[in-house]
């Protein structure tokens, strides 16, 4: 029997879901007997594999990089499990949505709430417009 190819992905989340995953403690040993972790923040693997049986996705899609990542993950994974509130409902990451656009969030976070050298990050796509 071939071993399960398991991945975990970290998008816009605090990593608490991954920490909770590690709280499986001794059950991780049982999991290791059944599955190979082929991609994860726990493993130093840079490229998402061409084929994954099951992927756990933590966090919401919060920027352009996340969007590109999740499209690749969707394409190459047989089963995708939204892992935690941020992945399912947006949760903390979605608190900015009622503000309508990225601009008020950027102003509040990087100009109004900063004492030293306030400036808005200028990397394209770092925060989506909507």
Candidate residues 21, 57, 59, 66; the one interacting with ligand SF4 per rule CB under 6 A? 59
13 binds ligand SF4 (CB under 6 A): yes
φ, ψ (nearest 5 deg) of residue 69: -60, -50
Which residue number, 58 or 66, has a Cβ lying nearer to ligand SF4?
Answer: 58
Which residue number, 77 or 93, has a Cβ lying nearer to ligand SF4?
Answer: 93
Residue ranges of the alpha helices (H) in the chain? 16-22, 27-34, 64-76, 85-89, 102-107
Candidates 10-18, 29-37, 40-48, 110-118: pick the segment binding ligand SF4 (CB under 6 A). Answer: 10-18
Question: Which pair of tokens denotes residue 79?
Answer: 């089963």
Residue (of 54, 67, 57, 65) closest to 88 by Cα position: 57
Q: Contact residues for ligand SF4 (CB under 6 A)?
A: 13-14, 16-17, 58-59, 84-86, 91-92
């Amino acid at each position: 029997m071939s071993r399960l190819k398991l991945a975990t992905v970290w998008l816009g989340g605090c990593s608490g879901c991954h920490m909770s995953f590690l709280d499986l403690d001794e059950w991780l040993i049982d999991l290791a007997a059944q599955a190979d972790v082929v991609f994860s923040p726990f493993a130093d693997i840079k490229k998402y594999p061409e084929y994954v049986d099951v992927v756990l996705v933590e966090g919401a899609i919060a920027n352009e990089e996340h969007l590109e990542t999740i499209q690749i993950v969707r394409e190459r994974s047989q089963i995708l499990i939204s892992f935690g509130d941020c992945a399912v409902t947006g949760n903390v990451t979605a608190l900015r949505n009622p503000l309508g656009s990225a601009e008020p969030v950027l102003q509040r976070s990087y100009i109004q709430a900063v004492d030293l050298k306030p400036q808005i990050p200028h990397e394209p796509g770092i925060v989506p417009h909507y």
